[in-house]
Amino acid sequence: MLTVDFTRFPLAAGDRVLDLGCGAGRHAFECYRRGAQVVALDQNGEEIREVAKWFAAMKEAGEAPAGATATAMEGDALNLPFPDASFDVVIISEVMEHIPDDKGVLAEMVRVLKPGGRIAITVPRYGPEKVCWTLSDAYHEVEGGHIRIYKADELLGRIREAGLKPYGTHHAHALHSPYWWLKCAFGVDNDKALPVRAYHKLLVWDIMKKPLATRVAEQLLNPVVGKSFVAYATKPHLPKAEA
């Protein structure tokens, strides 16, 4: 289940991509399939080991084209172990709401991104996220949990302050908002509640089968209750004299 829309965020074979805070690796895997040279980085060593196993399995199965590479590594988003201008593309999905120094993370992403490069940032959308916070303290008051809710203008302002130029936004995963509202209402750790179990089955069916009816429904509902807000931006080229 991808949050970044690669029709709006073009990726060329051979692009060097950093998936920052990659988690289970969903965007890193898609970039690898598209022929990129991918670095998936996360501070969670257990998840990184799983991502590395999946990269190896994909290579063995021939899922990635010739020339594509994939590396999984542990690292700190506030102190990236890469030289300046190392990447053509940076993706950070559902991460910044966890990090106190979000401006510092943006600065590091801009540092390692090449001039003319592209960044995709996704965060929980303000409205659906606010409902979750209202229904349940346990949803966000946990170690490593969400510490802020971004309004769209606020996130775009931070992106501009970091020296990036936003060029597009959209919302995603409208069908997932009701699921999290149910989880918060019945208890975030209570997976046995009938409404939660029933809706989870619906989501699994939707992800596996991709029926037209739910695809259309989600597209119609995304502007209203999309769970995620997605922003795309570029890093401007330096003026010739400065370069």
CA–CA separation, 57 and 128 (whole Å): 36
In this structure, are residues 88 and 117 in contact, taking their beta carbons and an 8 Å threshold? Answer: yes
Q: Is 189 helix (H, G, I), strand (E, B) or coil?
A: coil
> What are the pLDDT digits (tens) for 192-241?
999 999 999 999 999 999 999 999 999 999 999 999 999 999 999 876 55
In this predicted structure, the answer to whether residue 242 has a pLDDT above a threshold of 70 is no
113 bridge partner residues: 87
Q: How confident is the model at residue 144 (pLDDT cuts 50, 70, 90)?
A: confident
Half-sphere exposure of residue 149, counting CA atoms within 13 Å on the CB side?
14
Residues 6 or more apart whose Cβ sits within 8 Å of residue 29: 54, 55, 58
In this predicted structure, the answer to whether residue 23 has a pLDDT above a threshold of 60 is yes
In this structure, are residues 116 and 234 in contact, taking their beta carbons and an 8 Å threshold? Answer: yes
Please say whether the dihedral angle defined by the alpha carbons of residues 74, 76, 82 and 86, taken in this order, is positive or negative: positive
Average pLDDT over residues 45-73: 97
Please say whether the dihedral angle defined by the alpha carbons of residues 155, 156, 162 and 165, taken in this order, is positive or negative: positive
**Tell me, what's the pLDDT at 238?**
72
In the chain the first and final C-alpha atoms are separated, in Å, by 39
**Tell me, what's the pLDDT at 92?**
98
Kind of pairing between the strands at 113-124 and 228-234: antiparallel
Element (H or E) spanning 31, and its range? helix 26-33
Which residue is listed with tokens 């510490």?
147
What b/e sequence results for 114-127 when a residue is b if at least 16 CB atoms lie within 10 Å of its CB, and e otherwise?
beebbbbbbbbbbb
Average pLDDT over residues 31-52: 97
Count CB-CB contacts under 10 A for residue 107. Answer: 14
> What are the pLDDT digits (tens) for 156-205?
999 999 999 999 999 999 999 999 999 999 999 999 999 999 999 999 99
In this predicted structure, the answer to whether residue 59 has a pLDDT above a threshold of 90 is yes
CA–CA separation, 52 and 172 (whole Å): 27
> What are the pLDDT digits (tens) for 99-128?
999 999 999 999 999 999 999 999 999 999
- pLDDT, mean over the chain: 95
> What are the pLDDT digits (tens) for 4-18?
999 999 999 999 999
**Tell me, what's the pLDDT at 243?**
47
Percent of the chain whose pLDDT exceeds 70: 98
Percent of the chain whose pLDDT exceeds 90: 94
* Cβ neighbourhood burial of 240 (10 Å; 0-12, 13-18, 19+): exposed
CA–CA separation, 108 and 80 (whole Å): 7
